[in-house]
């Protein structure tokens, strides 16, 4: 199960991506927000990120205007490795190299079709498992302690 969440800046893109996920039969839970009314992105980003850290969700997708605020908030949650992606190569590399468990997207910076391509690649690309990448991830995760 993946979580998906946004603020008002990512609301339209969240609606679009949820339709694509549903079309593909990928289970997800919508953690809000639920309209284009202005809200505070940390509320939604941290809720989803904590859900990933707690094991309630395998991964999460967070969308705000730029994806930047969501990535800042999510990366404050111990156990979370959030990656802001605006291109397909980064989506693939952050799974293979960083084993990222949260994807952040900018609802105002990229179009919906590119966002879907990025999300699809991110969801389907496994971690490489290479020792050098595991070691580097370990070094980053030690900072949580």
What is the set of active-site residues? 64, 97
DSSP state of 120: H
Q: Which residue's Cβ has the minimum distance to ligand RB5? A: 69
Kindly state whether residue 13 participates in binding ligand RB5, applying the rule CB under 6 A.
no
Q: Closest separation between CB of residue 6 and ligand RB5, Å?
A: 8
Query: CA 100, CA 36: separation in Å to the nearest integer?
Result: 28
Q: Of 12, 18, 43, 68, which lies in the binding site for ligand RB5, with binding defined by CB under 6 A?
A: 68
Q: Which helix (H) or strand (E) holds 132?
A: helix 131-141
Query: CA 86, CA 5: separation in Å to the nearest integer?
Result: 17
Kindly state whether residue 9 participates in binding ligand RB5, applying the rule CB under 6 A.
yes
DSSP state of 97: T
Would you say the C-alpha torsion 48, 100, 139, 129 has a positive or negative sign?
positive
Q: Closest separation between CB of residue 68 and ligand RB5, Å?
A: 4
Query: CA 141, CA 115: separation in Å to the nearest integer?
Result: 27
Complex with ligand RB5: residue 38 or 132, whichever CB lies closer? 38
Query: CA 118, CA 16: separation in Å to the nearest integer?
Result: 13
Q: Of 5, 65, 95, 103, which lies in the binding site for ligand RB5, with binding defined by CB under 6 A?
A: 65
Q: Closest separation between CB of residue 139 and ligand RB5, Å?
A: 27
Q: Of 2, 51, 53, 69, which lies in the binding site for ligand RB5, with binding defined by CB under 6 A?
A: 69
Q: Which residues bind ligand RB5 (CB under 6 A)?
A: 7, 9, 41, 64-66, 68-69
């Amino acid at each position: 199960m993946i979580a998906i969440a946004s603020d008002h800046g990512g609301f339209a893109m969240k609606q679009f991506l949820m339709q694509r996920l549903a079309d593909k039969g990928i289970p997800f839970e919508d953690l809000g927000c639920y309209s284009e009314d202005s809200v505070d992105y940390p509320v939604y980003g941290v809720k989803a990120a904590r859900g990933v850290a707690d094991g309630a969700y395998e991964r999460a997708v967070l969308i705000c205007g730029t994806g930047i605020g969501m990535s800042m908030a999510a990366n404050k949650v111990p156990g979370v490795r959030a990656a802001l992606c605006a291109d397909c190569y980064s989506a693939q590399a952050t799974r293979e190299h960083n084993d990222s468990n949260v994807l952040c997207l900018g609802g105002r910076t990229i179009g919906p079709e590119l966002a879907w391509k990025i999300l699809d690649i991110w969801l389907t690309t496994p971690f490489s498992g290479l020792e050098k990448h595991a070691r580097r991830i370990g070094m980053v995760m030690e900072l949580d302690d």
